[in-house]
Structure 1
Amino acid sequence: MKRLLLTLAATATLAVSLPAAAQFQKSEDAIKYRQGAFNLIAAHFGRVAAMASGRAPFDAKAAAENAALASTLASLPFGAFGEGTDKGLPNRAKADIWKDAAKFKAAGDKMVAEMGKLDAAAKTGSLDAIKAAVGGVGGSCKGCHDDFRAERYSN
């Protein structure tokens, strides 16, 4: 029942968020949206990663729930990187996001795909499968951060 409620909540969030993402009135709104989405993804992925690394006790049900949420949320921030959303609030987005949009899109697509693999692995309940999938997600996140995320916030 809890899993069904989480799925419904995530689906409702997605249904409401996608139209909003396409309609940002100000760059500040887009920046807040994508930062919030990345924070949620990091929180849910972090719970699974902590289990995979042994920093938290393994709970197959919690891992599956958090992986499902992270996977559902994974595509949300990318709609908030439209033209002109590089300024307005402090953020860590590098100009390369807009200069090489195809490479950025590919990096985002890879992260979404890796999150899907994590979701599938977590559904098996196998800690070994989750560990392997966590590595794939971590690698995709690192690759994108290396290319598209500044070390410091802009002014």
Structure 2
Amino acid sequence: MGFRFGRAAAVAAGVAMIAGAALAHEHMGDVPDTPAAKAVVARHQSFKQLGGAFKAIFDELKKDAPDKAVIRANAQKMNALAGQEASWFPKGTGPEAGVKTDAKPEIWSDPKGFAAAVQKLQTETAKLQQVSVGGDVAAIKAQVQATGGACKGCHDKFRVPDKD
């Protein structure tokens, strides 16, 4: 039984949300040539990298013999990106920037709540990086779940839901 059943659905949902967020913004069309618009585009690209790294880890964990080096490299990448996340949302880069964004206004109207959500992701990605170095696949799987939960917590409050 193990990882592929039960908790895997929760992890898959987290991965799908991250990957979906990244892919939803891949085709942004014409973007105004303003600092705010450029910041929104950079934010989308950063989330695409974060989602890609998380998906790479998840894909490895589905294998009978996960490549621990791939997991370590992507956990390190996720942790580095999470450390930058707070800077991806400067004032003026919400919908008023003139670029499609799924960032809710609550990011700027509830800065303490958003900072707490970002801190939670940073804590969980740091733990993921740490356990990936140890190579214990069970511990990595457990931490992937916690990391996905941090992603979901932020998405639930600070990101416009995907339209099905």
User: Which TM bucket (shorter chain)?
Assistant: 0.7 to 0.9
Shift of 1:75: 2.1
Match for residue 47 of structure 2 among 35, 38, 43: 38
Two-structure CA RMSD over aligned residues (Å): 1.7
Aligned residues: 128
Corresponding residue for residue 93 of structure 2: 85
1:52-91 superposed matches below 5 A: 52=61, 54=62, 57-86=65-94, 87-91=97-101
Alignment deviations for residues 98-131 of structure 1 (CA, whole Å, 9 cap, x no partner): 1101000110011011000000010011100100
**Bigger CA drift: 25-34 or 127-136?**
25-34
Work out whether 1:48 is the aligned partner of 2:96: no
Match for residue 140 of structure 1 among 136, 143, 150: 150
Shift of 1:55: 5.6
For the Cα contact (< 8 Å) 1:94–1:150, is it kept in 2? yes
> Structure 1 length normalisation: TM-score?
0.77
Match for residue 113 of structure 1 among 95, 119, 123: 123
Identity percentage of aligned residues: 32
Shift of 1:50: 2.2
Unaligned runs of 5+ in 1: 1-24
